[in-house]
């Protein structure tokens, strides 16, 4: 009986260890929040894909008393000394893009150019994903294009369900914070400035 129990237990341990996601093997730099601030106020918050996600982050940032400007179509040339941080919030709205006469390709070009300019000016670039429901092929493409210029990535909820952000941040050697819900995003967001 004990032998059988041992065999069953051993098999279960093997099975469980086999089920552990491959993501665990990625050497991602996961933190609960940044250990020290990387930017000063004011921040520019821009939506990557013109979804309402950017507006939500702008409102949360304001609740944290961090001065910010929600700027839908900010470009690299718009950056100035008044700003020290760019927060790119992933979230696509085809309706808003059509309304603002832009598309995904233009958005990607704008954001890559924005992130590159921000880096050149010594500004911090933060990438935020609001979860699985708000991830599309388009947002993933933007994330991959912007990642090399990013200083910090924050993912809400099940946004990293497939390990995408872990792989991305590991490759770019960027710290990553995954929070369980939208309310918990305040801590890592605050840690960027304070």
Interaction of residue 155 with another protein, rule CB under 8 A: no
**116 or 184: whose CB is closer to another protein?**
184
Interaction of residue 118 with another protein, rule CB under 8 A: no
From 11, 14, 59, 171, residue interacting with another protein (rule: CB under 8 A):
59
Interaction of residue 96 with another protein, rule CB under 8 A: yes
Give the pair of three-digit tokens for residue 42.
Answer: 């004011």
Interaction of residue 93 with another protein, rule CB under 8 A: yes
Interaction of residue 105 with another protein, rule CB under 8 A: no
We find the least distance from the C-beta atom of residue 120 to another protein, in angstroms, to be 32
**26 or 182: whose CB is closer to another protein?**
182
Interaction of residue 130 with another protein, rule CB under 8 A: yes
We find the least distance from the C-beta atom of residue 8 to another protein, in angstroms, to be 32
103, burial (CB in 10 Å: exposed 0-12, middle 13-18, buried 19+): middle
SS3 per-residue string spanning 103-143: CHHHHHHHHHHHHHHHHHCCCEEEEEECCHHHCCHHHHHHH
- Tell me the C-alpha distance between 14 and 6, whole Å: 12
- Tell me the C-alpha distance between 75 and 50, whole Å: 14
Using CA atoms, how far residue 20 sits from 13, 130, 164, 180, in Å, is 11, 25, 16, 20
The distance from CA 114 to its chain's CA centroid, rounded to whole angstroms, is: 16
CA R_g for the chain: 19
From 43, 92, 172, 192, residue interacting with another protein (rule: CB under 8 A):
92
How many binding residues for another protein (CB under 8 A)? 22
Q: Give the single-character DSSP code of 92.
A: B
Interaction of residue 56 with another protein, rule CB under 8 A: yes
Binding mask 169-188 for another protein (x = CB under 8 A): ------------xxx-----
Interaction of residue 52 with another protein, rule CB under 8 A: yes
Interface positions with another protein (CB under 8 A)? 51-53, 55-56, 59-60, 91-96, 98-99, 130, 133-134, 136, 181-183
């Amino acid at each position: 009986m004990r032998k059988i129990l041992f065999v069953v237990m051993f098999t279960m341990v093997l099975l469980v260890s086999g089920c552990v996601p491959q993501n665990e093997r990625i050497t991602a730099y996961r933190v609960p929040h940044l250990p020290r601030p990387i930017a000063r106020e004011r921040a520019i918050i821009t939506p990557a894909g013109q979804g309402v996600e950017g507006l939500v982050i702008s409102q949360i940032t304001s609740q944290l008393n961090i001065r910010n400007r929600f700027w839908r179509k900010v470009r690299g040339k718009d950056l100035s000394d008044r700003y020290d941080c760019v927060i790119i919030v992933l979230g696509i709205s085809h309706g808003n893009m059509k309304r603002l006469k832009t598309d995904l390709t233009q958005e990607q070009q704008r954001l890559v150019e924005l992130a590159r300019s921000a880096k050149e000016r010594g500004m911090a670039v933060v990438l935020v994903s609001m979860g699985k429901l708000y991830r599309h092929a388009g947002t993933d493409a933007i994330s991959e294009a912007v990642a090399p210029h990013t200083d910090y990535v924050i993912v809400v909820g099940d946004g990293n369900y497939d390990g995408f952000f872990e792989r991305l941040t590991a490759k770019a050697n960027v710290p990553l914070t995954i929070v369980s819900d939208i309310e918990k995003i305040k801590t890592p967001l605050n840690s960027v400035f304070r």
